[in-house]
Structures are given as structure tokens and as C-alpha cells.
Amino acid sequence: MSGGIFQFKEFTMKQSLSGQRINTDSCAFADLVRGNSPRRILDIGCGTGVLALMMAQKFATAIISAVEIDAGDAGIAAENFAACPWQDRLMMLNLSVQDFAQETTAKFDLIVTNPPFFNASTKSLDPARALARHDDQLPASDLVAVISKLLLPDGVAWLLCAAEEEMRWLDAFKQQDLSVMQRTGLADNPEAAPHGFVLGFSKKENQVVTEQRVNYRDTPGGGRSAWMVQHRARWFPF
């Protein structure tokens, strides 16, 4: 990555001064998402578009709608979509997801979201970074209500959250009768507690929960950069 450009194997991402930067956790998240040949995918809070682009690459026939409230990030995402090989399957929408849910009649087989990580911690002085990382404009209850409304009965929803926020998200999904089906911890090494979780949900009751863990240091060479190198065949050109 140089000059705000991130080169993947099949597409290039501009980031500029976005508050939502590409990181290893978001790439691992996209790698862990599963869906049964989804026809329509929704990326909530898409930032500059990395998850939407990875979904377009991963699910070759899906139509992807990406919603982002920040006009700057939405503009960068639109540029990234226009420059990728799947531009005819990607739609960029610059509005809040609450407004989108009121306006759309669409339902989705697969919903992915990497929402603001934090609920009650010290905010960055950078307004863009604060918007990306704190849930003032997208509380957990609002986001999960939107997911419940827009998800098809046999659809699946995937969320990336900070470890300290996991129980808050599990409770929010439970309130909307969405059951966890997969839980994957993300950790820097086998001895460390997970710093984040990838959670998969559906509307089906009495799920058998699959538990997994990704340890970046288990990758040959160790660490997050090594994980990216190991996954170069799928996402990265180096």
C-alpha cells in the first residue's frame, strides 16, 4: 500500500484520508463470511467499499448494495466500484442505513457489516475517524432492527465487532429473534485473548453454534502481515 492506494489481487482500493482504513481484521472478516449462493447482498456502513468489493469477488453472480452515511467515504467507494471488474453488480448509496431501510423494498440473502466498534470510549479528535469508530449515529439497536427487517427468512447476517462489545451485540440480535450460528475469535497469537469476533446470525431457531479462532501468529512468519501474505493467492498480488 502506498499513497492511499491498496492493491488487491483483482482490484485496487483508494482510501485517501478515510476514517475507515483497510486492516487485517476486515480482510479476515470477508474471508470468513459464508453464504448459500446469495443473489442480493447488503454492506451496511461500507466505508470506502472494501467489504462490498470482496463480496463481489467472492460471490460471482450477486448484486451488492453498499450503504455509507459519510459523503467523503461514499465518494471514494463509488470511485473504487467504477474502477473494479464488477462495477455492473455494485450500487453505492450515500445515506443512513435507517433511511435506506425506510425507502427500500428489497430484501437480502446476505448482509455484512463492520459497524462502529465502540459505544463508550474516548473519541478521536478526527471527526471522520470518530464517525467510523463510534456508534452515535448507528446504535446497535437501530442496526440490528434494520438487519432483521431487510434479511430474508433464510438469509444470513455477518458482523465484525470488538471483543469488549460482543455481549452487547449478541443481546441486540437476540432482541430481534436472530440467533448466532457461528462465532470466530480473532487473536494476534495463540496465548492472547481475542481482540475481535466475527459473528454470523440467522432467523432460524435453535442453531448449532460453530466456534472457531483465527490466530495471526499461527501463520508462517507470524503476525497480521504474515496472515496477509499467506492469503495472497485469494486477495493480494504480492
**What's the one-letter identity of residue 146?**
V
Which pLDDT band, with edges at 50, 70 and 90, does 75 fall under? very high
The answer as to whether 107 is a domain residue is yes
Residue with cell 453464504: 35
Q: Which residue from 89, 93, 98 is spatially nearest to 73, judged by alpha carbons? A: 93
| pLDDT score for 235 | 55
- 231 vs 238: CA distance, rounded Å: 10
Q: Is residue 148 classed as helix, strand or coil in its secondary structure?
A: helix
Please name which of 112, 143, 29, 20 lies closest in space to residue 70, comparing C-alpha atoms: 20
Residue 126 scores a pLDDT above 60: no
Q: How confident is the model at residue 19 (pLDDT cuts 50, 70, 90)?
A: low
The most confident of 10-19, 23-32, 136-145, by mean pLDDT: 23-32
Q: CA–CA separation, 170 vs 16, rounded Å? A: 33
Residue 236 in any domain: the answer is: no
Please say whether the beta carbons of 159 and 113 come within 8 A. yes
Per-residue pLDDT, 134: 42
At residue 6, the pLDDT reads: 79
Residue range 66-88: mean pLDDT, rounded: 95
Q: How confident is the model at residue 238 (pLDDT cuts 50, 70, 90)?
A: very low
Range of the domain at 50: 5-230
CA 198 to chain centre: 9
Structural domain includes residue 238: no
- Report the candidate in 173, 226, 190 with the shortest Cα–Cα distance to residue 27: 226
pLDDT band at residue 22 under the 50/70/90 scheme: confident
- Look at residue 215 and tell me whether its pLDDT is greater than 50: yes
Number of domains the chain contains: 1
Interval 172-199: pLDDT, tens? 999 999 999 999 999 999 999 999 999 9
CATH number, position 129: 3.40.50.150
Is the Cα dihedral 145, 150, 154, 158 positive or negative?
negative
For residue 179, tell me if it sits in a domain.
Answer: yes
Query: pLDDT grade, residue 128 (50/70/90)?
Result: very low
Backbone phi and psi for residue 55, each to the nearest 5 degrees, phi listed first: -65, -40
C-alpha cell at 20: 475507515
Residue 135 has pLDDT above 70, yes or no: no
237 assigned to some structural domain: no
Which cell numbers in the block locate residue 26? 476486515
